[in-house]
C-alpha cells in the first residue's frame, strides 16, 4: 500500500530480482498510462516507462496491460509509446470484466508471474474523490471486482503465479469523507481473495 504510483517501479524490481528468469506480466488498473519519459526525472507518471526501458536494455520481455485508460488524460506521445512498447490499452468507456479478460488474454500465455496494481484514480470521482486527479468517467468498482474474480480463475488455468499486488495514489488530504479509503480497503480485500483463489487447485 503506497503513495504515488512510483511504487510500481519498486514492486516490479523486487519481483524481478527475486528470480530474473521469470517472465513477469503487469496489469495496471489506471486512468493514466504512466509511461512518461524518465530521462531527467522520475515520478508517479514514469514507473512503467522505467520498467520498459530497463527491460529493453537487458533483452527482457515487457508485458504490460493498462486497463481503464482515459483518452482525455494522456497525451498522444504516451499513446505512441504504448503502441511502440507493445502495451495493451483498454479505455475507461470500454471497460467491462469480459473486455478486460479478453484484453489480457494474449499476455497470459507468455508469462510465469503476475503483478497487479490498482491506481485509485481509475475509479469515478464519485467513488474515489481522494486522489490527486479525480476521474471524470472512471471504471465502476463493481466491474473491477468482477474482473479480479475472473482473473483469479484464468491465472489458475494458465498455471501463473500471482505474486504481488499494490494499491497507489490514495491521498488522505482530499479524502475528507473517507470514501476513497473505504474503497481502497475493499480493493485490498478483493486482491487478497483473488490471489488466494488463483493458487487453489481443484
The DSSP letter of residue 149 is: H
- The residues, ordered by sequence, that sit 6+ positions from 166 with a Cβ below 8 Å of its Cβ are 1, 2, 7, 8, 11, 117, 118
The DSSP letter of residue 77 is: H
CA pair distance 154, 102, nearest whole angstrom: 11
CA pair distance 201, 85, nearest whole angstrom: 34
9-53 confidence digits (pLDDT tens): 999 999 999 999 999 999 999 999 999 998 778 988 999 999 999
CA pair distance 28, 50, nearest whole angstrom: 15
Are 54 and 8 contacting, i.e. CB atoms less than 8 angstroms apart? no
CA pair distance 95, 101, nearest whole angstrom: 10
Q: Residue 91: which H helix or E strand, with range?
A: strand 88-91
Please give the backbone phi and psi of residue 124, each rounded to the nearest 5 degrees, phi first.
Answer: -60, 150
What is the residue-level pLDDT of the chain in tens, covering all 202 positions? 878 999 999 999 999 999 999 999 999 999 999 999 987 789 889 999 999 999 999 999 999 999 999 999 999 999 999 999 999 999 999 999 999 999 999 999 999 999 999 999 999 999 999 998 999 899 999 999 999 999 999 999 999 999 999 999 999 999 999 999 999 999 999 999 999 999 986 5
pTM above 0.85, yes or no: yes
Are 170 and 120 contacting, i.e. CB atoms less than 8 angstroms apart? yes
Which among 67, 8, 69 is positioned nearest to 42, based on CA atoms?
Answer: 8
Q: What is the pLDDT of residue 90?
A: 98
Its sign, for the CA torsion 155, 157, 160, 163, is positive
Amino acid at each position: 500500500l503506497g503513495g504515488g504510483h512510483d511504487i510500481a517501479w519498486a514492486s516490479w524490481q523486487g519481483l524481478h530480482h527475486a528470480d530474473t528468469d521469470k517472465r513477469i506480466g503487469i496489469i495496471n488498473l489506471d486512468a493514466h498510462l504512466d509511461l512518461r519519459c524518465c530521462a531527467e526525472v522520475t515520478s508517479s507518471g514514469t514507473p512503467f516507462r522505467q520498467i520498459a526501458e530497463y527491460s529493453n536494455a537487458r533483452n527482457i520481455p515487457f508485458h504490460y496491460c493498462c486497463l481503464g485508460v482515459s483518452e482525455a488524460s494522456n497525451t498522444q506521445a504516451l499513446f505512441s509509446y504504448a503502441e511502440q512498447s507493445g502495451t495493451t490499452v483498454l479505455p475507461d468507456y470500454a471497460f467491462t470484466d469480459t473486455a478486460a479478460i479478453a484484453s489480457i488474454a494474449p499476455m497470459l500465455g507468455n508469462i510465469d508471474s503476475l503483478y497487479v496494481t490498482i491506481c485509485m484514480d481509475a475509479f469515478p470521482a464519485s467513488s474515489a474523490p481522494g486522489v490527486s486527479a479525480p476521474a471524470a468517467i472512471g471504471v465502476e468498482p463493481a466491474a473491477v471486482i468482477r474482473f479480479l474474480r475472473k482473473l483469479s480463475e484464468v491465472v489458475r488455468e494458465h498455471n501463473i503465479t500471482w505474486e504481488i499486488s499494490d494499491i497507489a495514489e490514495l491521498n488522505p488530504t482530499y479524502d475528507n469523507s473517507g470514501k476513497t479509503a473505504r474503497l481502497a480497503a475493499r480493493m485490498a480485500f478483493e486482491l487478497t481473495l483473488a490471489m488466494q483463489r488463483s493458487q487453489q487447485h481443484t
